[in-house]
Amino acid sequence: MDELNNLNAASSDVEIVRQIQAGDKNAYNLLVIKYQHKIIQVILKFIPNNADANDVAQEAFIKAYRSIGNFRGDSSFYTWLYRIAVNAAKTYLESNQKYQGALDVDAEDFDYKDSEGVLTSKDTPDRIIESEELQAVIQKAIQNLPEDQKQALLLREVEGMSYDDIAVVMKIPVGTVRSRIFRAREYVEKQMASLTA
Amino acid sequence: MVKSTRTDLDLEQISAALDNEDSFAKDVALNKEAVSHLKNWSLIGASLRNELPKTTNLTFADSIAAKIAEEPAPRVVDQVEVNKAPEIKFSFKTLSKKFAFALGQIAVAASVAIVTVVGVQTWNAQDDYTLTQASSAPLGPIEGVNLASYQSSNAESIIRLENDKNPSAEGRPADSDDKVEQKQRAEIDKINNYVRGYVINIASK
């Protein structure tokens, strides 16, 4: 089932890539929104400064856009993007004296495939206020969700399960899974509006 | 009947597309409302997976979109074009260069062959007939005619081509036919050696 999920993820991203290759620049924004947090997280492993990591992540996304004409779908889009991000981070470290020695970090140490078959990191850095505040609001909203919506959303976001798998686990139709996850997101989004507006 | 005012935007489909369970509707990336929802839902997911950094830049995607807008459209590499064999162009200049090069190679090969043949021949000739041998080889008189001033004093080398079959008046025993022929061949060889030696000697001067 995991392999099927991987195929779905890959085909969905490849579909967007094809649109971009056909000249639809705006479609690239969908991929940026989808993977920005993962990419920043990867770069933070190399560059422990949030502002610098954000700059390098932006650079990586721009580089990926410029090279997207060469993307043929041999690997998943995220795997391809991940390599570009790691290379951008290493290049940045090499050109900045203050980070000399940080190159000892081996990207392979924290490479593993998540439920979508894409590379991600094993652990997360400590949170500071802004993220903690946001996270607190989100957690509180999750707790207030109806149990069926909460379970569906957590199975998807935390466990990385496909809608089909969630349907099996919860013994409900796939369409119901789809609507429950959507409604859960809408509710949490409303709760965090004051922070994100 | 009041027509539904529901927007054409299918948010549930966008939510599913974010999870790779559906396709994004065409031009959804141009819809600000849809993009705003996607950002928030992506943020919720990152938060639940503990993927958020210390601070979250909510305008990250907007910054990249602004930069992408200034970029030229990506150039798709045509794999057929890449795999195509390079076209070979013929020109008179190229052909003449290739011809001259081939001609040069043939000339060098021919020169080497000539030098080799002459060298081998010379080497063999020197083995068989050194100048010293040729000039100093003893050569007896034939039929009493002295061909060289350095003729051997060896009496046995004197050849009587016709009379050696018979006993001489000097009391020497008559030679057999085989022995006579053998002697004749030996003397002819000596003569030939002398002539070759003479020619080489003259040529070397």
Q: Do B71 and B148 lie in a common domain?
A: no
Considering only CB atoms, A21 lies closest to which of B35, B53, B76, namely B76
State the alpha helices, DSSP H only, in B19-154: 32-48, 60-70, 79-83, 92-128, 131-136
Dig out the tokens for A156 from the structure: 């998807």
Query: What is the nearest CA distance from A111 to chain B, expressed in angstroms?
Result: 15
The pLDDT score that the predictor gives to residue B114 is: 78
Pick the most confident of A122-126, A167-171, B106-110: A167-171
Looking at every residue in chain B, the average pLDDT score rounds to: 72
Determine the longest span between alpha carbons in chain B, in angstroms.
Answer: 163
- For the cut 50, the answer to whether the pLDDT of residue B149 exceeds it is no
- Confirm whether B28 is domain-assigned: yes
Listed range (A162-166, A173-177, B50-54) with the worst mean pLDDT = B50-54
The pLDDT score that the predictor gives to residue A118 is: 41
- Confirm whether B3 is domain-assigned: no
Contacts across the A-B interface (CB distance below 8 Å): 170
Q: Do B200 and B117 lie in a common domain?
A: yes
Listed range (A62-76, A120-134, B18-32) with the worst mean pLDDT = A120-134
The pLDDT score that the predictor gives to residue A115 is: 41
The pLDDT score that the predictor gives to residue A102 is: 57
Q: How many domains does chain B have?
A: 2
- Confirm whether B49 is domain-assigned: yes
Q: Do B118 and B182 lie in a common domain?
A: yes
The pLDDT score that the predictor gives to residue B205 is: 65
d(CA A181, CA B21): 12
Q: Do B120 and B194 lie in a common domain?
A: yes
**Mean pLDDT of the region A11-24:** 88
Considering only CB atoms, B77 lies closest to which of A26, A69, A134, namely A69
Determine the longest span between alpha carbons in chain A, in angstroms.
Answer: 56
The pLDDT score that the predictor gives to residue A39 is: 95
Name the residue among A161, A144, A141 with its Cα closest to residue A152.
Answer: A161
Pick the most confident of A34-43, A108-117, B81-90, B177-186: A34-43
- To test the contact with chain B by mutation, choose from A29, A58, A68 the residue with the greatest count of B C-beta atoms within 10 A, namely A29
3-class state of residue B8 by DSSP? coil
CB within 8 Å of A10: residues ≥ 6 apart:
A73, A76, A77, A117
**Mean pLDDT of the region B171-188:** 77
Looking at every residue in chain A, the average pLDDT score rounds to: 83
Name the residue among B42, B39, B63, B61 with its Cα closest to residue B51.
Answer: B42
- The per-type count for chain A, helices as H runs and strands as E runs, is 9, 2
List, for residues B75-108, the tens digit of each pLDDT value: 776 654 444 444 555 566 766 777 787 788 888 8
Contact B51 A41 (CB under 8 A): yes
d(CA B18, CA A162): 12
d(CA A196, CA B195): 118
Domain containing residue B178: 113-204
Residue at which a domain ends, from B50, B75, B100: B75
- Confirm whether B85 is domain-assigned: no
Contact A179 B12 (CB under 8 A): yes
Q: Do B118 and B200 lie in a common domain?
A: yes
Q: What pLDDT band is residue B73 in, cutting at 50, 70 and 90?
A: confident
- Confirm whether B1 is domain-assigned: no
Contact B68, A62 (CB under 8 A): yes
Residues of B in contact with A26 (CB under 8 A): 27, 29-30, 65
- Confirm whether B155 is domain-assigned: yes
Domains assigned to chain A:
2-120 (1.10.1740.10), 129-196 (1.10.10.10)
CATH number of domain containing B45? 1.10.10
Q: Do B134 and B60 lie in a common domain?
A: no
Residue at which a domain ends, from B75, B104, B123: B75
Q: Do B39 and B119 lie in a common domain?
A: no
Name the residue among B99, B54, B61, B19 with its Cα closest to residue A134.
Answer: B54
- For the cut 80, the answer to whether the pLDDT of residue B204 exceeds it is no
Contact A189 B40 (CB under 8 A): yes
Q: Do B122 and B189 lie in a common domain?
A: yes
The pLDDT score that the predictor gives to residue B125 is: 63
Q: Do B70 and B128 lie in a common domain?
A: no
Residue at which a domain ends, from B75, B93, B122: B75
